[in-house]
Amino acid sequence: MKKIVPVLLCALLSLALFAGCASNDLTISIGNGMIENDGVSVRLQYGDTWNDNEKIFTVHYGHESEAVLADNYYISFCDADPTFESSVTLHTIFSFTKADLEGRTVSGTRFSGDAAEIVAGTLSDVLPQGEGTCTAYIVLSSSVTDFSDITTYSAHEFTYEWQENGLKLIDG
């Protein structure tokens, strides 16, 4: 019994330390949800802090079997929700082409192909600045996106606070 207590304590401490290394997953897709297997999706994996000139995302991307592919796709930051704005400014941080996408498929949560890394450079060049909590959107769009048609883009809101060399995500 005396040996079990230290082992359990060690296991619990290891679990607590591992949980402190936050890693987040976000999958966003575009395509007509009324048409089966019509999506193009990206899965973004990221930590809770982003620093200038360092990797902020690991990205996987793919398409479903019936997706009609556009020539180009973009992952961007935007300071307003494109669903409710008549005009938006996108700051593209990653793009891929139809040729890049053709060999990559997605089925459920499984993406084929190797992951890529996204380094955004100077974060203040692509994200809104401000004191306290700031809000921005991660947007997946394509060369045929029409922001009046929600099936041609996807946007995900996140909040953050600026720090000395980057930012800390609050809700993302």
**How confident is the model over 113-148, as pLDDT tens digits?**
999 999 989 999 999 999 999 999 999 999 999 999
The confidence band for 86, taking pLDDT boundaries of 50, 70 and 90, is: confident
pLDDT one-digit tens code per residue, 90-121 = 999 999 999 999 989 998 889 999 999 999 89
pLDDT one-digit tens code per residue, 18-27 = 333 458 999 9
Closest-CA residue to 29 (of 150, 108, 140, 172): 140
Residues 6+ apart with CB under 8 A from 15: none
Single pTM value for the model: 0.85
Quick one: pLDDT at residue 159?
97
